[in-house]
Every structure is written in C-alpha cells, then in structure tokens.
Structure 1
C-alpha cells in the first residue's frame, strides 16, 4: 500500500490523455467508455453473494462487521506515530495492526463492503495525531484520493456555514443539511468521528446490490432508467482546464461480472444552469421518478447507526450507498460535529474491481482532480 502522505509513482511512459499531467496525482472525474457499457438487458436480474445483505443480517450478526481496537493494537498505533514523528517512518509499518486491517480490507472489497472500527482514543489525541494515524490506517485499504478542487486528501465533514440550497457550487458535506443516499467518487470511503452533533448527523447505509435487486423486482422500468447512461452529473466548478462542467454517466453499471454505482442526487439536480444555456437536457420526468424511487427504496432497506467518537466507518463505494440525517451542533464553545474523511482507491492490480472507465487500471483512480493541484492535508475544514 501507499506510504502516508507520499505521492504514488506510476511507471507509465506515455500517459493516456485522461491521466493527470503529474504522475501520482488523483485521476479525477471521467465519463465511462460508452462502448464498454452493457445494456440493461444484460444486467443480472438478481445479484447473489456476500455483497447482498439486509439490515436484519447486520443487526443480528454484529461481529461480522463491527471490530474493536484492543489496547495492544492502540499501543502499536501510538508507537508507530511516535516513530513517524521522529523519523518519518510510514505509519503503515505496524505489523499486528496491518494484519488486523488486511482481513477487514478483503471483506470490504469483495464482501459486505461495510466495517465499523470502534474505540480509537481520539478524545485524548490532538487532531494532528488523529489525522496522521487515520491516514496511516487508510493506506492499508487503498491509496488516498483528492476529494475536491483544493486537493484535500484529508476531508473534513463539518458545517462550515455554507448555504445548502446553493447546490450548484456547495458540497453538502460542508453544511448541516441532510445527505441523501449516494456513493462517493472512490472505491472506499472512510469516516472517523472526532466530535458528535448535539442532534442528528446519524448514518444510514444500504447494500447497493440489495437495492438493485429490490428495484429490479418491484420496478424493472426504473431499474432500466438507472442503468441507462444518459444522466448528467455536475462537476460544481471542480474541473480542469478544457473539461466540461459536467460528466455524462449512468447510475448503475454492469461490467466484468460486477454491478457498480457512483451516484449522488445533489450532483444530478444541480445542473440547471447548463440546461438553461442549452448545453445539456433537463432531467426527464421518469428520471425524477427514478431518483425518488431509489431514495425511498434505500430508506426502506437501510441500516441506521450512530457513530460514536473514535469510530471509523468504512464503506465500499462500489456496492454500498450511504446517507446522513440533518444535524444541529452544540453552541460554542463546544466543538462542532466533525468527521475526518478519506476517499481511497483500490486498484485492479491490488484486487479492486474493473470498471468501464478510462482510468480503471490507474493506481489513484476516481476522486476529484483540478489541473495539477497537489494533494494537501488540512487539519480543519476550509
């Protein structure tokens, strides 16, 4: 896996046009290779296997997805951080922790795609220490990705006072508003809870494969709409020079034996300025219905959870959707709700799923990359 805070070298003598100008940077947002897309008729009518789970299965079997940090593991993590401070030695050089996390990684990629790691003592650590240890943990699972146009590899899910109604330019994670069911632009998303809200900010997760099976069984007409690549996703101003302000994609894909999805309703509902300019078509009525059916079905199937301080939630963006309730923070001087976020790439060369996108084989595939913006590691939201 990649060392902490170190760009990944990629041995590619002649980068394809979609690769960033500087090797080791995040690949960014791309349209699929349309010639590789399977039509809806070729999608499985019912997905089977460990990626298909129900709320009841996880509730009744917490040991298969909830994992507790032991005192021994925490001591090893803290010792690794001390060594990192003194010598710059990667935090990933921690043997017992590495073995503990590698088993979880396998379940994330090819299994349920859900893990909750409980009990990191972040309440006694500085933000800097928590962030460094968290990034070190994350690099066992994959390669860190830029999450916005500023190159933030360490994201901060926190209310920064932004207006959630300005969805054409505001990312909802920087507000206290509700987040509808979505999957982020990586292979794995991680959230480490530093501070909880006074009210709300609770998490909902659903197997995207169980969601697909349910929609396919109940509304095959909607499943077909979701599998049709005529959806326009807003880049929200986070695009490189020469790129359109949007990408045209599907919601669900079937490729190389896997159904995958990267989707966020805020990104398909915020394209009005391009519609008004005559650059792209507006959402059709059936697409609007599909958005509602997907959200309602996900809510019906979802597992609800509350992240405690020190919890790390890890989800496979390939086959799990997640959502968040709106929240209210404590009044100052109490700290605001604050989660540290990682987007991680799991390359095909290291067991990740192939995708019908031009960066499928790239090490740091996905994420958001604007021009040659270098990666940054801010210790607070900005």
Structure 2
C-alpha cells in the first residue's frame, strides 16, 4: 500500500489538550431544558410509549439548532459533545426515557442495539448471571469464562477501549456509582498518528483485515467470521472500528484465520497508545455524552455501587446513524452495510 500520512483536523487531539479547551461541552439553554421536561412529561401522561415518539411529536423551540451544533462538533470538530444544563432534579424519573428518546430523534436515526430490536439499553450492573444469559459467554483456551462485549456492559467490570457499531453512541446519565465508573476517551486520529511515529510498519498492519466475530450481537453470530481493518480512510477522512473482544473471540473459532505475531504486536501497541493519550471524565446525573465512533475510542473503569445511599451507576444508551456522517471505505460494508455519507447504517439487524 502507499505510504500512510498523518491525519489532521480538529478531531486529532491529546487528552491534556481537550480538557483545557472544553470546546466539546455544550451547555443547554434553560428554556430548552424546561421544554424537554414538559414534552417528556406530557408524552408520558398521555400514556404514549417512549419508543413511539417522533421528531414531529417532540418539538421544542431551539432544540433543532442545539442538536445541529452538536452534530457539527461530532462530525467536523472534536468528535465528542457533552450536553449539560438539563434540570435533572426537576425531571420526573418516570419520564427519563421519554426525554432521552425524544431528544434523540432530533440528533439522528435511532438504531436497534440487539437482534430483538432493543432501541434503548440500560447500561448498569445486572450481575454476572444475568450478563451471561442475556449477552453470551464462551470458554477461552484456559477454560475460563469469556464474556461477549454485550455481556460485559451488564457487569460492573472495566471496559477496554472500543467503538460501538453506530456512527454516534449517546449515554444519558441517570445515576453515578459510589466509586469508579470513570469514562476514558481518546482521539482515534491521535492514536493513529502516534503509532505512525513509533512503528509505521505496525500501522500498516492495522490497515489490513483483522478477523472478528459477531459474538453476542447477531443471531448465529458466535460462529460468524468477518474481516475488517482497524483503520480505514475515504476522501481523506479517517474511520476506525475496534473492539478487542470480538477479535479475541474469533481466535477461539477454528475457522478464523490466526492472528500473526505482527497483528498481535500492533493491537497491543494500539491499546497502549490509547491509554497514554486518553483523558478521564465522569458524567453527572442529567448529562449526556455523545461520541463519534469513527474518531473516538472509549473505555470505562470498574465501579462499585452503594444502593443504600442511592449511588448506583446507570446510563441509558442510544445508537445513532447521523445525517452528516462521513463516507466509509468500500471494504467496511461487511460491518456497516451502507458506506455512503449520511446513509442510515450500523446497529444490529433484527432477527426474523
């Protein structure tokens, strides 16, 4: 392949830089907050299911402009947006899902997160037994349980740097843990450039296909193998899809190509660099975190809840296809389906 150049632009940053700039934090006008709460309560009191809300049925003055600015930051800015300023104390807990889903309809197209059509997922500790039954578990070469990516989100354990299967992932914080649960975020472009600086030979490896499974996602996915590079570019714009869990699980299947020593080394370097360049942040109740998966890796530390004091970590997650998304390389269709810019793509296909 031709020589790989460093990627540039506002989505390339180090953790220390982004913390200092705060350019990705988007305060909400109090009038929008009041409008969101009123619309959510109205929908709930009318016994309208939150999943039935549409953009047309959830109109708040100023919301479209607010969401448009967030979309611009996500695609052409830092790749992140934190929405702050919602009057969470004034929001009826029974209206949490109505507000988040209604707001989400103004951000993009909301996607299914499971093969059963789940549109909003509660990210919280469900306990190991629940996690294994809902998300899937296999046994690794040492005979130890190996949880799918889906299952790991239902525990209080740490999550490694990864991306989700959508243009943008959104988390609405409705509660925080007594200890831990810290988000770690890093720029994919910065990781790309640092690997280029240290080991250009390994960066080239990451532009080549890596075997993965759809374990814990699609029906029958535990035995399905697909090949996808970690990095790709189209029209000068970077994209990365990365989850070590899907790669490791593929290696448990005899039909998957074996990782080469260079691939193993490249993946280890990517994890190391991501940890070095990341910054840490904790969402407060009522705040919303939006991440462009093409240019941001995210991780989470382990956490401990304290139910007695009400300090329990709970996030409501939405997956979005974005109307202003970038075009993807043609070989990424194996995961995304549609690769044209602005296409409705990603998510998990609903089983027939």
TM category, shorter: 0.7 to 0.9
Match of 2:218 among 224, 228, 239: 239
**Is it true that 1:60 corresponds to 2:20 in the alignment?**
yes
Whole-Å Cα distance in 1 between the matches of residues 240 and 105 of structure 2? 23
- Superposed, 1:346-365 pairs within 5 Å as 346=322, 350-355=323-328, 356=330, 357=333, 358-361=337-340, 363-365=343-345
Relative to structure 2, which stretch is displaced further, 320-329 or 155-164?
A: 155-164
Q: Describe the SS at the equivalent of 2:252.
A: helix
Identify if the C-alpha distance between structure 1 residues 291 and 128 changes in structure 2 by more than 3 Å, giving closer, same or farther.
farther
Query: Where does residue 142 of structure 2 map in the other structure?
Result: none
Equivalent position of 1:376 in the other structure: none
Equivalence for 1:343: 319
In 1, are the aligned partners of 2:213 and 2:222 still within 8 Å (CA)?
Answer: no
1:116 to 82, 94, 97: 82
Report whether the alignment pairs 1:311 with 2:271: no
> What displacement does 1:176 show?
1.1
Q: Which 4+ runs in 1 deviate beyond 6 A?
A: none
Pairwise CA distance, 1:65: 1.2
Cα pair distance change 1:263/1:287, threshold 3 Å: same
TM-score normalized by structure 2? 0.84
How far apart, in 1, do the equivalents of 2:221 and 2:292 lie? 31
Using CA pairs under 8 Å that are at least 6 residues apart, name the structure with larger relative contact order, 1 or 2: 1
**1:261 is the counterpart of 2:261:** no
What TM-score results when the alignment is normalised by the length of structure 1?
0.78
Which stretch shows the higher mean deviation, 69-78 or 336-345? 69-78
CA contact (8 A) 1:107 1:113 kept: yes
Is the Cα contact below 8 Å between 1:202 and 1:304 reproduced in 2?
yes
Query: 1:80 — aligned with what?
Result: 39
| 1:1-382 superposed matches below 5 A | 39=1, 41=2, 43=4, 45-62=5-22, 64-85=23-44, 86=46, 90=56, 92-162=58-128, 165-168=145-148, 171-229=151-209, 231-240=210-219, 245-274=224-253, 278-331=254-307, 334=310, 336-346=312-322, 350-355=323-328, 356=330, 357=333, 358-361=337-340, 363-372=343-352
* RMSD across aligned positions (CA): 2.4
Query: For 2:327, what is the secondary structure of its paired residue?
Result: coil
In structure 1, runs of 5+ residues without a counterpart are 1-38, 373-382
Q: Return the alpha-carbon distance in structure 2 between the equivalents of residues 79 and 129 of structure 1.
A: 10
Unmatched 5+ residue regions in structure 2?
138-144
Check conservation: 1:183, 1:262, Cα contact below 8 A: yes
Displacement of 1:140: 2.0
Pairs aligned (count): 324
Give me the whole-angstrom Cα distance separating, in 2, the residues matched to 1:106 and 1:371.
33
Q: Is the 8 A contact 1:198 1:330 kept in 2?
A: yes
